Amino acid sequence: MSLKRLLLAAVTLASVSTGLLPLTVSSARAEIACESSLVLWSVSRKFHTYDRNVIKSGLRIEELYDAHPVYSTNHTSDTLIPRQYCKARAMMSDGRDRTVWYVIEYGQGFAGVSYRVDSCIPGFDPWHVYGADCFTVR
């Protein structure tokens, strides 16, 4: 490890331990939340792409509403990645209402900056990528 990297790691660790650089879900959630239009757009876009390339049902999400957090994890729990687990209702193009489960993982976007959203609609995960009934994003 180069001296520059070692120094950067020491400064980052000192900033985190003194509270100058907060690493909690609550501070990250101030920027992005379950009901954020960017997050809801990401959920809709991912379903559209997944449907077009994998399940080919021809359905799309017309509207996402009633989005709210279910629970969250932060750096004091078992994981080092803060996550916000969310639930919303989706009005689908077939007129049916379905539950959408999704998780926002902070610091997991491109190059570790921003966030990543994984989502699942029960019944639309034929290979159980997210476990039975979308268990891993609940």
User: Is 58 inside a domain boundary?
Assistant: yes
User: Is 15 inside a domain boundary?
Assistant: no
Distance between CA atoms of 109 and 47, rounded to whole angstroms?
Answer: 18
Q: How many separate domains does the chain show?
A: 1
pLDDT tens for residues 74-112?
A: 655 566 788 899 999 999 999 999 999 999 988 877 776
What global pTM score does this model have? Answer: 0.73
Q: Mean pLDDT across the chain, nearest whole number?
A: 80
User: Is 108 inside a domain boundary?
Assistant: yes
Domain hosting 39: range is 24-137
Better-scored residue on pLDDT, 17 or 86: 86
Average pLDDT estimate for 63-69: 96
Token pair listed for 99: 């539950």
Cβ 38 vs Cβ 32: under 8 Å: yes
